[in-house]
Amino acid sequence: MREASCCNKKIGSSVTKAGFVAVLGRPNAGKSTLLNALLGEKLALVSHKANATRKRMHLILMEGETQIIFVDTPGIHKQEKLLNQYMLKEAMQALSDCDFLLFLAPITDKISNYQEFLQLAQGKKHILLLTKTDQVSKEVLFEAMAKYEKFKDSYEALIPISIKDSSSLKRVVEVLAKLIPENPYYYDPEILSPNTTKEIAKEIIREAVFENLSDEIPYESDVQITLYKEKPDVHYIKATIIVHKESQKGMVIGKGGTTLKRVGKEARINIEKFVRQKVFLELFVKVVPSWSKEKESLKKMGYNFED
């Protein structure tokens, strides 16, 4: 993380602050939804289906003179599948590398999940966020907070949050800004993410696949951007949706190409919102048997395992 390009800036005579914050939690804890709400931009992949996020993504929030670099991560989970092993590695790498941690615990979650996180964190500074608090009564919220209170020596702060409550989100940013150390900026403060537009476009297309297809297909699919040309007035994108089986290919295309057109339209609209320009998007579908079950195939898809 320290190898990121630095911008040694000061604003007036004030010293700048910058730090990396890993956003962690079980699948579907609300990590990506929280980050999009904090940044006011739809950058992180959001889906009601668990394990949508597969790779780390850096998202930058400026709070006054403080640069908070959030690292969105896959959900912490244990499965034997090779792709899931990669996802867990990504989460653990972020936990190890970052200056601070945000652990998201849905309000109805078992407290044992937080205890397991504490074992992984090994004393690293973190803020505990109780998420989805708008879905329960105040009595249930107070009961949950009381249960976590016995761990008060482990966390820097316990903050109940709801995406619908802007004051709770503001509180998260304020507490984090106080914890971030004095540092030169790691990235240009004008950008929202050091990830490339091409990488973000891929995630937007993946999200459209997740939202428009049945449960099985999204987890056995991925997206490759084969062409990305950025011109002054339009972005030209060609992308291929990769699946395991011929039957899945047929389902992605749909009768008369209707499903693929729906996925493409949704993805194009969201990419246009991000780049704020017209987008021409062409989607294709390709069968690559067992692409997610073989290490070499995963590497070709951009999931680089370290030997």
Could you tell me what percent of the chain has a pLDDT over 90?
54
Residue that terminates a domain, selected from 146, 179, 212? 179
Q: Please, which residues bridge with residue 282 across strands? A: 238
Residue 79: per-residue pLDDT: 66
CATH number of the domain at 106, please: 3.40.50.300
Query: Does 5 map to a domain?
Result: no
Residues 160, 55, single domain; the answer is yes
Query: Does 279 map to a domain?
Result: yes
| Helix then strand then coil, % of the chain, to nearest 5 | 40, 25, 35
Residues 165, 48, single domain; the answer is yes
Strand order in the sheet with 278-287: 222-230, 234-243, 278-287
DSSP 177: H
pTM to 2 decimal places: 0.82
Query: Does 125 map to a domain?
Result: yes
Averaged pLDDT for residues 54-83: 83
The whole domain housing 269 covers: 197-299
Residues 146, 295, single domain; the answer is no
CA distances from 85 to 27, 112, 306 (A): 14, 22, 12
* pLDDT digit string, tens, across residues 139-193: 999 999 999 999 999 999 999 999 889 999 999 999 999 999 999 999 999 988 8
Residues 138, 262, single domain; the answer is no
CATH number of the domain at 294, please: 3.30.300.20
Averaged pLDDT for residues 86-107: 86
Q: Which amino acid is at 99?
A: D
* pLDDT digit string, tens, across residues 36-62: 888 887 666 554 555 567 778 889 999
Query: Does 219 map to a domain?
Result: yes
What is the domain count for the chain?
A: 2
